[in-house]
């Protein structure tokens, strides 16, 4: 990086530099007395968020100061917006809250357009993309309450529970669209890559999982059956009363896996110990998804479409792994016929033993 840019950056971030000097002094004071190095680590983790927040604030202050007024800003309908006015907004980031100043353009009877927001790829909501990603990751592995605690613990930002729920829904809404775009824009592969893929099985697997739902979110027939039942307890469902309280989520996965040959003895030993065979190859290019809204047939068709995207010419060996559910097996066989696919259907050994 040119030295003049470093010098300019240091000038812009004077507040951050003073903050950093303070942090260094605090660490020196802590290190001069007997104590656990872990305490210094924790202190640094907390305080460096302050330094990063000041640098980020300085960055947006510079963008605001350098932003020039324009006469070519238009709204979505093509109306030229003639009146710029400085506006500010809050942005909650991984390092804490900052203020973003920028010009908002509007005209009579129109809303405001903020070119600097688009330039910086700012979200419409108050929470930064980095913080939204942390929330989505935390929600994927635990409850909303735990997600809020995790974000508070690992960042200097804060997202209340209700907003965490909204961010999680927003993060999930583009899931299907993302894979549809991948289907339309299949990346070209080298000849070596295609030959390598041909050596692997193209595997599909499906399973169903019952999810306890609110009464109003049950399917109509299930709601009726649930309404006709008598409950043993007035406050909650007793043991065994989860029937007619669930909707079935269909889970599907598509992945590549190398062939692996085992003897009958190997299979029996693995089944008894419930352990992964030490030489079993690991799946690659794995996509997993589930749907409560879509039927088993729709999810099966989507799985076959994903497989077809990976092997449009049908040159690879397709296998599909199912359990002992007869309806699921019928749906898979029907999907095979609809999609004109040559598939080897394998029933899972664990379910066969039952």
Specify whether the CB–CB gap between 67 and 119 falls below 8 A: no
Instruction: Give me the architecture of the 191-353 domain, per CATH.
Output: 2-Layer Sandwich (3.30)
The predicted model gives 289-303 an average pLDDT of 87
pLDDT of 144-188, one tens digit each? 999 999 999 999 999 999 999 999 989 888 777 777 676 545 556
Q: Note the pTM of the prediction, 2 decimals.
A: 0.67
pLDDT of 209-258, one tens digit each? 777 666 565 656 666 665 666 555 455 555 555 555 676 788 999 999 99
What's phi and psi for 13, nearest 5 deg? Answer: -100, 35
Q: Assign residue 100 a region (left: φ > 0; alpha: ψ between -120 and 50; beta: otherwise).
A: beta
Cα–Cα separations (whole angstroms), residue 119 to 22, 102, 113, 127, 302: 33, 11, 12, 17, 36
pLDDT confidence tier of residue 262, bands split at 50, 70 and 90: confident
**Beta bridge pairs of residue 202:** 256, 318
């Amino acid at each position: 990086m040119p030295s003049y840019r470093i010098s300019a950056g240091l000038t812009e971030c004077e507040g951050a530099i003073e903050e950093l000097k303070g942090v260094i002094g605090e660490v020196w004071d802590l290190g001069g007395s007997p104590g656990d190095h872990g305490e210094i680590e924790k202190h640094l983790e907390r305080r460096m968020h302050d330094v990063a927040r000041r640098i980020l604030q300085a960055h947006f202050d510079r963008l605001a100061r350098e932003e020039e007024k324009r006469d070519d800003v238009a709204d979505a309908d093509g109306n030229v917006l003639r009146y710029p006015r400085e506006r500010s907004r809050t942005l909650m980031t991984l390092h804490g809250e900052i203020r973003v100043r920028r010009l908002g353009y509007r005209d009579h009877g129109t809303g405001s357009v903020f070119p600097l927001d688009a330039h910086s790829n700012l979200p419409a909501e108050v929470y930064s993309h980095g913080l939204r990603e942390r929330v989505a990751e935390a929600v994927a592995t635990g409850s909303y309450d735990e997600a809020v605690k995790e974000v508070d613990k690992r960042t200097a930002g804060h997202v209340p529970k209700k907003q965490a729920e909204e961010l999680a829904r927003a993060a999930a809404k583009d899931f299907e669209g993302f894979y549809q775009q991948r289907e339309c824009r299949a990346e070209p592969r080298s000849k070596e890559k295609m030959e390598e893929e041909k050596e692997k099985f193209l595997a599909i697997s499906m399973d169903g999982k019952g999810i306890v739902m609110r009464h109003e979110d049950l399917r109509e027939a299930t709601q009726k059956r649930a309404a006709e039942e008598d409950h043993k307890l007035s406050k909650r469902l007793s043991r065994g009363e989860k029937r007619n309280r669930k909707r079935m989520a269909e889970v599907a996965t598509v992945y590549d896996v190398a062939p692996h040959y085992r003897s009958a003895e190997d299979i029996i030993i693995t089944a008894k110990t419930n352990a992964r065979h030490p030489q079993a190859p690991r799946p690659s290019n794995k996509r997993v998804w589930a749907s409560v809204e879509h039927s088993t047939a729709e999810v099966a068709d989507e799985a076959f479409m994903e497989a077809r995207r990976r092997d449009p010419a049908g040159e690879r060996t397709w296998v599909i792994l199912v359990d002992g559910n007869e309806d699921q097996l019928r749906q898979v066989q029907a999907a095979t016929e609809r999609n004109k696919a040559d598939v080897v259907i394998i029933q899972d050994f664990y379910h066969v033993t039952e």
